[in-house]
Protein backbone atom coordinates (compact mmCIF):
# COMPACT_ATOMS: atom_id res chain seq x y z
CA UNK A 1 0.00 0.00 0.00
CA UNK A 2 2.80 2.44 0.87
CA UNK A 3 4.59 1.70 -2.39
CA UNK A 4 1.44 2.41 -4.45
CA UNK A 5 1.05 5.78 -2.67
CA UNK A 6 4.65 6.59 -3.49
CA UNK A 7 4.14 5.59 -7.14
CA UNK A 8 1.15 7.93 -7.40
CA UNK A 9 3.24 10.80 -5.99
CA UNK A 10 6.25 10.10 -8.23
CA UNK A 11 4.93 12.08 -11.25
CA UNK A 12 4.20 15.08 -9.01
CA UNK A 13 7.64 14.85 -7.44
CA UNK A 14 9.37 14.73 -10.83
CA UNK A 15 7.39 17.79 -12.01
CA UNK A 16 8.33 19.68 -8.84
CA UNK A 17 12.01 18.76 -9.18
CA UNK A 18 11.97 19.61 -12.89
CA UNK A 19 10.66 23.07 -12.08
CA UNK A 20 13.60 23.60 -9.72
CA UNK A 21 16.26 22.52 -12.22
CA UNK A 22 16.50 25.88 -14.03
CA UNK A 23 16.61 27.64 -10.68
CA UNK A 24 19.53 25.49 -9.56
CA UNK A 25 21.42 26.24 -12.77
CA UNK A 26 20.95 29.99 -12.23
CA UNK A 27 22.65 29.81 -8.84
CA UNK A 28 25.85 28.69 -10.56
CA UNK A 29 26.09 32.05 -12.33
CA UNK A 30 27.83 34.96 -10.57
CA UNK A 31 25.63 37.30 -8.58
CA UNK A 32 25.35 41.00 -9.41
CA UNK A 33 28.82 42.49 -8.96
CA UNK A 34 31.40 44.96 -10.27
CA UNK A 35 33.49 43.66 -13.18
CA UNK A 36 36.20 45.24 -15.32
CA UNK A 37 35.13 45.99 -18.89
CA UNK A 38 36.70 47.70 -21.87
CA UNK A 39 34.40 50.32 -23.37
CA UNK A 40 34.98 52.45 -26.44
CA UNK A 41 34.96 56.22 -26.23
CA UNK A 42 34.58 58.50 -29.25
CA UNK A 43 33.53 62.08 -29.88
CA UNK A 44 32.50 64.01 -32.96
CA UNK A 45 35.42 66.18 -34.07
CA UNK A 46 38.03 63.83 -32.57
CA UNK A 47 39.62 61.08 -34.67
CA UNK A 48 39.22 57.39 -33.95
CA UNK A 49 37.82 55.26 -31.22
CA UNK A 50 39.55 54.93 -27.85
CA UNK A 51 39.24 51.80 -25.68
CA UNK A 52 39.08 52.55 -21.94
CA UNK A 53 39.07 50.13 -19.01
CA UNK A 54 36.21 50.83 -16.59
CA UNK A 55 33.92 49.00 -14.18
CA UNK A 56 30.38 47.89 -14.99
CA UNK A 57 27.69 45.90 -13.20
CA UNK A 58 27.21 42.33 -14.34
CA UNK A 59 25.66 39.14 -13.00
CA UNK A 60 22.27 37.71 -12.20
CA UNK A 61 19.57 38.82 -9.80
CA UNK A 62 17.08 36.54 -8.12
CA UNK A 63 13.69 37.27 -9.65
CA UNK A 64 10.38 35.62 -10.49
CA UNK A 65 9.06 34.52 -13.86
CA UNK A 66 5.68 36.25 -14.38
CA UNK A 67 4.37 33.22 -16.27
CA UNK A 68 4.56 31.22 -13.03
CA UNK A 69 2.93 33.86 -10.84
CA UNK A 70 -0.79 33.64 -10.03
CA UNK A 71 -2.81 36.27 -12.00
CA UNK A 72 -3.60 38.30 -8.88
CA UNK A 73 0.16 38.78 -8.35
CA UNK A 74 0.97 39.50 -11.99
CA UNK A 75 2.51 42.94 -11.34
CA UNK A 76 5.90 41.45 -10.59
CA UNK A 77 8.90 43.76 -10.89
CA UNK A 78 11.78 42.14 -12.74
CA UNK A 79 15.06 43.24 -11.19
CA UNK A 80 18.32 43.57 -13.11
CA UNK A 81 21.94 44.03 -12.11
CA UNK A 82 22.47 47.78 -12.42
CA UNK A 83 24.43 50.70 -11.01
CA UNK A 84 23.86 51.69 -7.42
CA UNK A 85 26.57 54.36 -7.43
CA UNK A 86 28.09 55.75 -10.60
CA UNK A 87 30.92 58.18 -11.30
CA UNK A 88 31.82 59.87 -14.58
CA UNK A 89 35.56 59.97 -15.22
CA UNK A 90 37.24 62.41 -17.62
CA UNK A 91 39.43 61.35 -20.54
CA UNK A 92 41.27 63.75 -22.85
CA UNK A 93 41.14 62.54 -26.45
CA UNK A 94 44.15 63.29 -28.66
CA UNK A 95 44.01 65.01 -32.05
CA UNK A 96 40.66 66.77 -31.73
CA UNK A 97 39.88 69.50 -34.24
CA UNK A 98 40.07 73.22 -33.49
CA UNK A 99 37.25 74.41 -31.26
CA UNK A 100 36.42 70.86 -30.09
CA UNK A 101 36.67 70.21 -26.35
CA UNK A 102 38.91 67.10 -26.17
CA UNK A 103 37.55 65.98 -22.79
CA UNK A 104 34.89 63.27 -22.74
CA UNK A 105 33.39 61.63 -19.63
CA UNK A 106 32.75 57.89 -19.40
CA UNK A 107 30.82 56.02 -16.68
CA UNK A 108 32.47 53.89 -14.00
CA UNK A 109 30.33 51.87 -11.61
CA UNK A 110 31.29 52.21 -7.95
CA UNK A 111 28.70 49.75 -6.63
CA UNK A 112 25.92 47.55 -8.00
CA UNK A 113 22.51 46.37 -6.89
CA UNK A 114 19.55 44.38 -8.14
CA UNK A 115 16.81 46.89 -8.94
CA UNK A 116 14.50 48.06 -11.71
CA UNK A 117 16.21 49.09 -14.92
CA UNK A 118 16.23 52.88 -15.24
CA UNK A 119 15.87 54.10 -18.82
CA UNK A 120 17.52 57.37 -17.71
CA UNK A 121 20.86 55.75 -16.86
CA UNK A 122 20.91 52.33 -18.55
CA UNK A 123 20.23 50.53 -21.80
CA UNK A 124 17.25 48.38 -20.80
CA UNK A 125 16.82 46.64 -24.15
CA UNK A 126 17.02 42.89 -24.66
CA UNK A 127 19.98 43.16 -27.02
CA UNK A 128 22.04 46.33 -27.05
CA UNK A 129 25.29 47.28 -28.71
CA UNK A 130 28.41 45.75 -27.16
CA UNK A 131 30.34 48.06 -24.79
CA UNK A 132 33.30 48.26 -27.18
CA UNK A 133 31.17 49.24 -30.22
CA UNK A 134 32.55 52.09 -32.34
CA UNK A 135 31.05 54.07 -35.16
CA UNK A 136 34.59 54.95 -36.24
CA UNK A 137 36.66 52.30 -38.02
CA UNK A 138 40.00 53.19 -36.44
CA UNK A 139 41.00 52.19 -32.91
CA UNK A 140 43.58 54.24 -31.01
CA UNK A 141 45.44 52.42 -28.25
CA UNK A 142 47.52 54.45 -25.82
- Residue 130 within any structural domain of the chain: no
Res. 121: pLDDT tops 90: no
- Output the pLDDT for position 116: 86
| Residue 11 domain-assigned (yes or no) | no
Instruction: Report the pLDDT value the prediction gives residue 106, as an integer from 0 to 100.
Output: 93
What is the rounded distance in angstroms from the CA atom of residue 67 to the CA atom of residue 56?
30
Residue 95 has pLDDT above 80, yes or no: yes
> Positive or negative, the Cα torsion across 112, 122, 76, 19?
negative
Position 124 in a domain: no
Number of domains composing the chain: 1
What 3-state class would DSSP assign to 55? strand
> Does a structural domain hold residue 36?
yes
Rounded to the nearest integer, the mean pLDDT of the chain is 76
Residue 106 belongs to a domain: yes
CATH code for position 34: 2.10.90.10
* Domain contains 56: yes
**What's the domain range around 84?**
30-115
pLDDT tens for 19-72 read: 444 555 555 678 999 999 999 999 999 998 999 999 999 998 887 666 665 666
In sequence order, what are the residues at sequence separation of 6 or more whose Cβ sits closer than 8 angstroms to the Cβ of residue 32? 57, 58, 59, 60, 61, 81, 112, 113, 114
Which of 2-11, 48-57, 70-79, 119-128 is least confident? 2-11
Question: With contact defined as beta carbons under 8 Å apart, do 56 and 81 qualify?
Answer: no
Q: Considering the domain boundaries, does residue 73 fall inside one?
A: yes
Domain assignment present for residue 14? The answer is: no
Residue 130 pLDDT grade (very low, low, confident, very high; cuts 50, 70, 90): confident
If one compares 122 and 45, the residue with the highest pLDDT of the two is 45
Amino acid sequence: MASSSFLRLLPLLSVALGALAPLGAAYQLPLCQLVNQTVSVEKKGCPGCHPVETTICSGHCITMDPSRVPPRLSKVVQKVCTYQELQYRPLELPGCGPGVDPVVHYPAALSCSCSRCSMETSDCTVESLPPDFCTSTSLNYY
